[in-house]
Structure 1
Amino acid sequence: LAMAITAALGPGLPHAMLAIVLVAWAEFSRLMRGQVLAAKANDYVLAARALGAPAWRVLLRHVLPNAFPPVVVKGTLDIGNAIILTAALSFIGLGAIPPAPEWGAMIAAGQTKFEYWWVATFPGLAILSVVLGFNFLGDGLQDLLNPRLRDA
């Protein structure tokens, strides 16, 4: 879907970023909606409402702090997906325009130069290390923010 959106808008990094956002926002909105609905059903939210707390206070004090951590974890894990998707779009010529340094374009440039293996290898290793770093960050945040995993 991101490839079709970027192809319709034309090549360029802003168009690629817009396509990635349009593809990924639905997952985040579904996750946040589910977390808010689950947090609203908790007893402490019902108790705060019964005590007469205003809706904005219940939302800011009780619902959002309990609904937001899974969204943060998903966001850090999806940064890696966005990096790979951006590199893939640049690899096929729909991402950054060629004078701009972009890992996917560097891999595409090194694709035909087999005797110069490092032209494609080091951008690929950079993508691998950054995506792995963000995945480890997301995993660490999940361990930190999830009380069930924190106690184990």
Structure 2
Amino acid sequence: MGRDIFSRILYGARISITVGLSIVIIAAVIGVAIGSLSGWCGGRVDRIIMALTDMILSFPSMVLALALTAALGVGLFNTMLAVCIVRIPLYVRLMRGQVLSLKEEPYVKASKTFGASPFWIVLHHIVPNCLSPLMVQMTLGIGDAILIASSMSFIGLGAQPPMPEWGAMISTARVYAIDQWWYAAFPGLFILVTVMGFNLLGDGLRDILDPREH
């Protein structure tokens, strides 16, 4: 097709990595807020939030993302929004568990005694002590988000040609797979290396930040 594949892959790296980072950051912010509310309030609020979370988690991530993208419409932004919705429950459950364990700590009870508001306690005491597991989950989630977004682009629901997104590049290259194998091989290789790199980074952070390892 007369295109410089290497230049398109390098340019597509900005798109794919930006998509992964954006999905993870937005999902983490929303998930932390909802999970903190669920863990702190408890009772009926907790039951309603966890019922919705379990309902979303009961569906396979890829299937739910496909359904949401089909409902929202074709396009990279809608794909990002769909994947973000799918990833939010992971952070809700993580943050809820952390809040339930930390809100009984002596320093949290002391803050309550001095009249601190729940919002101030969560923001200044609980969230900073949850950063380690959140960072690990976010790092591992970037690779998953890139993979799901690339898969959606591959089947035509995400980024549309001629945008040089890795999944869209592989989709276009299917026609030329027999004669020009490198057209599909190198975008796929970059997806593999990027996802593996973020997963290894997440594993390394988990080992470094795990207090049981020290």
* TM > 0.5: yes
Residue 176 of structure 2 corresponds to residue 88 of structure 1 = no
Paired residue type of 1:137? L
- Which residue of 187, 194, 198 maps to 1:134? 198
Q: Residues 27-62 of structure 1, C-alpha deviation per residue, up to 9 Å, x if partnerless? A: 111211111111112233334444x26245543443
- Larger CA deviation: 132-141 vs 15-24: 132-141
Paired residue type of 1:116? Q
Deviation at 1:144, TM superposition (A): 2.4
RMSD: 1.7
Which consecutive residues of structure 1, in runs of 5 or more, have no partner in the other structure? none
Deviation at 1:21, TM superposition (A): 0.5
1:10 match: 73
> How many angstroms apart in 2 are the aligned matches of 1:147 and 1:53?
31
Q: Residues 42-90 of structure 1, C-alpha deviation per residue, up to 9 Å, x if partnerless? A: 233334444x262455434432222232122111101111101011001
- Which residue of 102, 112, 126 maps to 2:165? 102
- Which residue of 87, 90, 93 maps to 1:27? 90
Paired residue type of 2:108? V
1:109-148 equivalent positions in 2, closer than 5 A: 109-113=172-176, 114-148=178-212
SS of residue paired to 2:146:
helix
Paired residue type of 1:5? L
> How many angstroms apart in 2 are the aligned matches of 1:60 and 1:84?
32
Compared CA separation, residues 11 and 123, structure 1 to 2 (3 A): same
1:59 match: 122
- Which residue of 139, 147, 160 maps to 1:76? 139
Which consecutive residues of structure 2, in runs of 5 or more, have no partner in the other structure? 1-63
> How many angstroms apart in 1 are the aligned matches of 2:80 and 2:101?
31
> How many angstroms apart in 1 are the aligned matches of 2:123 and 2:72?
38
Name the % identity.
Answer: 51
Answer yes or no: is the 8 Å Cα contact 1:39–1:67 preserved in 2.
Answer: no
- Larger CA deviation: 28-37 vs 53-62: 53-62
Paired residue type of 2:69? T
SS of residue paired to 2:159:
coil
- Normalising by structure 2, we get a TM-score of 0.64
Answer yes or no: is the 8 Å Cα contact 1:110–1:119 preserved in 2.
Answer: yes
Answer yes or no: is the 8 Å Cα contact 1:106–1:123 preserved in 2.
Answer: yes
